[in-house]
């Protein structure tokens, strides 16, 4: 290893090359800063390599398989449909390769330096970056920390062998005949349902009273109903206690209403949340960066830490661990460094679950809006009487708009159904621009489209929907 004695100068050091880090690096470079971004694993971080993108590639493949296998309602019959899972994994890998390669090209095009290695702070203005070949020392004017998070590993269920984290579940070389999932949050439901569509017998063990606990109760019920129709067993109010594994299977012991039960499967997937990557060898303790008791870095509304020229974004600060939140904060931090008045405003962060049906939410739900003191009026319109949804044979779901009855402002929306992940953007824009339900109702939506459901939900609030009776 070659160690440099003299410090090299850089305007902005970015630690982490995930959606937060690479976005911060590119935006900072666009604003005229010389930028070095460092990541010890890979360009694109967890999201592009072992999270958001590969999971959606596998989910898409599972949807396609299900559609081909069960097209009878549309008059489509297929025999001997099979899955070559190695080809599915190859497809996933090609998607990842294309996107991570694209980020590398963006670095080059924006003159962002990239270093594959680790970082150790020397003091508030200097850091050593190192790998097996070299260890240069950099003096920086500003720093953006974007080191992300990792799956929480429970003492009773250590990762390894047939006990998987989400990363391991995405890398299986075979479709398991059976799978137990501990945790009914969005990761557990997405991956569990994906393998169920491929033919796995799936059991979900959830500690609370319902899956997708942070979402609208009607959404949770809708997804639960679909999962059960697909043969997924959902055990709520359960406490997972232990696991014993052999070379071929794993047996999970859990408790429900004080009674111990067991389930045996090929694999166990543990998805009980994520932990911020602030406890490694980064040297945050050497610079006395202020963190809370859970390891999250404390920041202000410009993502500035207790050390004014050091910023933190993404999963290592408070809030949901979402790639789009990290990317949003990345732009704020880079612009703040450039002296711009950018500040975070979290009222429009969409929450999306790529379940079947998809679920998406933005802004307030009905209860949250009432708790904030609003005089609430809600409009709900089902997918089941929308022409496009029916033509897609996807009639499950609804659009729910939460508004202020006094001024008509859109306060939030919840969408469950096909393409909810895309449809939610209109609702986010409505909230961001201060639109009213009348604005949505007066917007001409193409016919026949799923977007019309939002228009009709707005018309329900106004009292004059065309395709349903106001009672």
pLDDT in tens, 153-209: 999 999 999 999 999 999 999 999 999 999 999 999 999 999 999 999 999 999 999
How confident is residue 337, by pLDDT bands cut at 50, 70 and 90?
very high
Please compute the mean of the pLDDT values over residues 346-358 and round it to a whole number.
96
Q: In the prediction, which pLDDT does 467 show? A: 96
Confirm whether residue 188 is marked as ligand binding: yes
Query: Is 11:139 a contact under the CB 8 Å cutoff?
Result: no
Query: Is 179:202 a contact under the CB 8 Å cutoff?
Result: yes
Query: Residue 140 phi/psi, 5° resolution?
Result: -120, 150
Q: How far apart are CA 326 and CA 313, in angstroms?
A: 6
Domain 2-151+275-346 sits in CATH 3.30.565.10: no
> pLDDT above 70 covers what percent of the chain?
99
How confident is residue 5, by pLDDT bands cut at 50, 70 and 90?
low
Q: In the prediction, which pLDDT does 391 show? A: 97
Confirm whether residue 183 is marked as ligand binding: yes
Give residue-wise pLDDT tens across range 401-445.
Answer: 999 999 999 999 999 999 999 999 999 999 999 999 999 999 999
Q: How far apart are CA 320 and CA 328, in angstroms?
A: 13
Residue 464 bears catalytic tag: no
User: What single DSSP character describes residue 296?
Assistant: P
Domain 163-272 sits in CATH 3.50.50.60: yes
2 pLDDT more than 60: no
Confirm whether residue 206 is marked as ligand binding: yes
Query: Is 205:235 a contact under the CB 8 Å cutoff?
Result: yes
Q: Note whether 2-151+275-346 and 357-462 share their fold.
A: no
Tokens of 374: 């609003």
Confirm whether residue 283 is marked as ligand binding: no
Neighbour-count burial for 267-297, b at 16+ CB within 10 Å, e otherwise: bbbbbbebbbbbeeebebeebebebeeeebb
Tell me which of 63, 70, 445, 447 is the catalytic residue: 447
How confident is residue 1, by pLDDT bands cut at 50, 70 and 90?
low
3 pLDDT more than 90: no
Please compute the mean of the pLDDT values over residues 85-110 and round it to a whole number.
98
Query: Is 189:355 a contact under the CB 8 Å cutoff?
Result: yes
Rg (CA), the chain: 24
Fold of 357-462: Enolase-like; domain 1 (3.30.390)
Confirm whether residue 18 is marked as ligand binding: no
Average pLDDT, the chain: 96
How confident is residue 292, by pLDDT bands cut at 50, 70 and 90?
very high
Q: In the prediction, which pLDDT does 446 show? A: 98
Please compute the mean of the pLDDT values over residues 451-464 and round it to a whole number.
98
C-alpha torsion angle, residues 326, 16, 148, 110 (rounded to 10): 20
Q: How far apart are CA 23 and CA 21, in angstroms?
A: 5
Domains in the chain: boundaries: 2-151+275-346, 163-272, 357-462
Q: In the prediction, which pLDDT does 34 show? A: 98
Give residue-wise pLDDT tens across range 239-291.
Answer: 999 999 999 999 999 999 999 999 999 999 999 999 999 998 899 988 999 99
186-197 vs 52-69: helix crossing angle, rounded to 10: 40
Confirm whether residue 314 is marked as ligand binding: no
Confirm whether residue 147 is marked as ligand binding: yes
């Amino acid at each position: 290893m070659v160690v440099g004695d003299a410090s090299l100068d850089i305007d902005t050091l970015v630690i982490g090359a995930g959606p937060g880090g690479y976005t911060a690096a590119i935006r900072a470079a666009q604003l005229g800063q010389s930028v070095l971004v460092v990541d010890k694993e890979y360009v694109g971080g967890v999201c592009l390599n072992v999270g958001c993108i590969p999971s959606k590639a596998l989910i898409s493949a599972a949807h396609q398989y299900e559609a081909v296998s069960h097209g009878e309602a549309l008059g489509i019959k297929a025999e001997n449909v099979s899955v070559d899972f190695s080809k599915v994994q190859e497809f996933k890998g090609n998607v990842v390769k294309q996107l991570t390669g694209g980020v590398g090209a963006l670095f080059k095009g924006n003159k962002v330096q990239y270093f594959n290695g680790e970082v150790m702070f020397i003091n508030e203005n200097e850091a050593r970056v190192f790998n097996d070949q070299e260890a240069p020392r950099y003096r920086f004017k500003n720093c953006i920390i974007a080191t992300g998070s990792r799956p929480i590993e429970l003492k009773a269920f250590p990762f390894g062998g047939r006990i998987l984290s989400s990363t391991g579940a995405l890398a299986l070389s075979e479709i398991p005949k059976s799978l137990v999932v501990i945790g009914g949050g969005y990761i557990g439901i997405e991956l569990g349902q994906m393998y169920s569509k491929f033919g796995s017998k799936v059991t979900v063990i959830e500690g609370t009273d319902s899956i997708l606990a942070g979402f609208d109760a009607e959404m949770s019920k809708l997804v639960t109903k679909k999962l059960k129709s697909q043969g997924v067993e959902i055990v709520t109010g359960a406490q997972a206690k232990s696991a014993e594994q052999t070379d071929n299977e794993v047996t999970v012991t859990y408790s429900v209403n004080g009674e111990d039960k067991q389930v045996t499967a090929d694999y166990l997937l543990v998805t009980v949340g994520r932990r911020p990557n602030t406890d490694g060898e980064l040297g945050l303790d050497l610079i006395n960066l202020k963190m809370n008791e859970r390891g999250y870095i404390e920041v202000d509304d410009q993502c500035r830490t207790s050390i004014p020229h050091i910023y933190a974004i993404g999963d290592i600060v408070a809030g949901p661990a979402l790639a789009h939140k990290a990317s949003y904060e990345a732009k704020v931090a880079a612009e703040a460094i450039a002296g711009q008045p950018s500040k975070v405003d979290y009222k429009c962060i969409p929450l999306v679950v790529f379940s079947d049906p998809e679920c998406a939410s933005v802004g307030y739900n009905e209860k949250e809006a009432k708790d904030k003191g609003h005089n609430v009026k809600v409009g709900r319109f089902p997918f089941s009487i929308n022409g496009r949804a029916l033509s897609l044979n996807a009639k499950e779901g609804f659009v729910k708009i939460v508004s202020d009855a006094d001024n008509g402002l859109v306060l939030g929306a919840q969408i469950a159904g096909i393409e909810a992940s895309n449809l939610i953007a209109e609702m986010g824009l409505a909230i961001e621009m201060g639109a009213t339900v009348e604005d949505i109702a007066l917007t001409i939506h193409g016919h026949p489209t799923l977007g019309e459901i939002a228009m009709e939900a707005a018309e329900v609030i106004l009292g004059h929907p065309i395709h349903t009776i106001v009672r």
